Amino acid sequence: MNSKSALVFGATGLVGSHCASQLLASNDYSSIVVFTRSPLPLSHPKLTKHLIDFNKLDDSLIRGDDLFCCLGTTMRKAGSPEAFEKVDFTYPLEIARAASASGVKQFLLVTSVGSDPSSANFYLKTKGRVEEAIKPLRFQSLLIFRPSFLMGNREEFRLGERIGITTMRALTAAPIDALKKYRPIAASIVASAMIAAAQHGQEGIRVFESDEIQSLGSL
Ligand SMILES: NC(=O)c1ccc[n+]([C@@H]2O[C@H](COP(=O)([O-])OP(=O)(O)OC[C@H]3O[C@@H](n4cnc5c(N)ncnc54)[C@H](OP(=O)(O)O)[C@@H]3O)[C@@H](O)[C@H]2O)c1
């Protein structure tokens, strides 16, 4: 039995909700603190919930061992590139800065397959930029997870995601190594991989591509 504490951002989302529930079930963590903008209908003796305004982050609350950042939106939901950037770049960076300053040991960040700060695609460029912006911050370890299309029970219908999953499933059906990282992946597996990686206690920066996430999360 360990007594680590975990902080989770994005716990109302697909990956983040799996993170929160798996962390609550884990014997490695005695305290799980979630930060959401809307109420999370979950209660558990190990769980502390903070309903927050992400534009006015209270840095003093961001204290713990391992921080799981699963925030994200879509361009359609955000409504503009600026609003998208706020959720996928500004918020994670501000959270990471506060976490680094308070001595959080491990920062676990979900970005995306194809993240690249020089990409012509705004989504992938933003994901790549946030990775680069967080890399210089001081953590025992920065663990970056780049999943392919996420599968799971999402209440909201996302046409692009559905098309992406179907297309990528077909394209990656052949056993070609170079295509493995594009295979759609279950959100629950991403969460399992993040929690497994956090237990390794490694130092430095490590990027997990989607096929590595699949292997690690399936152990
Ligand atoms: N979907 C895919 O196929 C896919 C593929 C590769 C990578 N990714 C990336 O993987 C990560 C997790 O994806 P996901 O599908 O689990 O995400 P998700 O289900 O859309 O959840 C996103 C989380 O971010 C929060 N959030 C969104 N906008 C916010 C705002 N303005 N202020 C505060 N919180 C906000 C959401 O809170 P609310 O519930 O309050 O909205 C939710 O908790 C994201 O970074 C995503 O870009 C996704």
Question: What are the extents of the domains in the chain?
Answer: 4-155+186-217
> Of 99, 135, 144, 142, which Cα lies nearest the Cα of 5?
99
Query: What's the gap in Å between 76 CA and the centre of ligand 1?
Result: 12
Query: Ligand 1: which residue has its CA nearest to atom 44?
Result: 72
Query: Separation of 74 CA from ligand 1 center, angstroms?
Result: 8
Selection from 118, 143, 120 nearest residue 128 by Cα: 118
Is the CB of residue 16 below 6 angstroms from any atom belonging to ligand 1? Answer: yes
Distance of CA 140 to the CA centre of its chain: 18
Is residue 20 exposed (0-12), middle (13-18) or buried (19+ Cβ within 10 Å)?
Answer: buried
Distance CA 184, CA 119 (A): 21
Ligand 1, atom 30: closest residue by C-alpha:
87
Check if the beta carbon of residue 8 is closer than 8 Å to that of residue 36: no
Q: Which atom of ligand 1 lies nearest, measured to the CA of 149?
A: 3
Backbone angles phi, psi at 206, to 5 degrees: -135, 130
Q: Please give the distance, rounded to the nearest whole angstrom, from the Cα atom of residue 180 to the centre of ligand 1.
A: 23
Q: Which two tokens stand for residue 132?
A: 């680069």
Q: What is the pLDDT of residue 1?
A: 58
Q: Which CATH superfamily is domain 4-155+186-217 in?
A: NAD(P)-binding Rossmann-like Domain (3.40.50.720)
The reported pLDDT for the residue numbered 160 is: 79
CA angle 85–9–12, rounded 5-degree value: 95
Q: What is the chain written as a DSSP string?
A: ---EEEEEE-TTSHHHHHHHHHHHH-TTEEEEEEEESS------TTEEEEE--TTS--GGG--SSEEEE-----HHHH-SHHHHHIIIIIHHHHHHHHHHHHT--EEEEE--TT--TT-SSHHHHHHHHHHHHHTTS--SEEEEEE--SEES--SS--HHHHHHHHHHHHHT-S--GGGGGGS-EEHHHHHHHHHHHHHT---EEEEEEHHHHHHHHT-
pLDDT score recorded for residue 3: 87
Residue type, 164: G
Ligand 1 atom index nearest CA of 154: 19
Q: Which of 17, 35, 73 maximizes ligand 1 atoms within 8 Å of its Cβ, making it the mutation to test the pocket?
A: 73
pLDDT per residue rounded down to tens, the chain (219 residues): 568 999 999 999 999 999 999 999 999 999 999 999 999 999 999 999 999 999 999 999 999 999 999 999 999 999 999 999 999 999 999 999 999 999 999 999 999 999 999 999 999 999 999 999 999 999 999 999 999 999 988 777 777 788 878 888 877 887 888 888 999 999 999 999 999 999 998 899 999 999 999 999 998
* Backbone torsions φ then ψ of 215, nearest 5 degrees: -65, -50
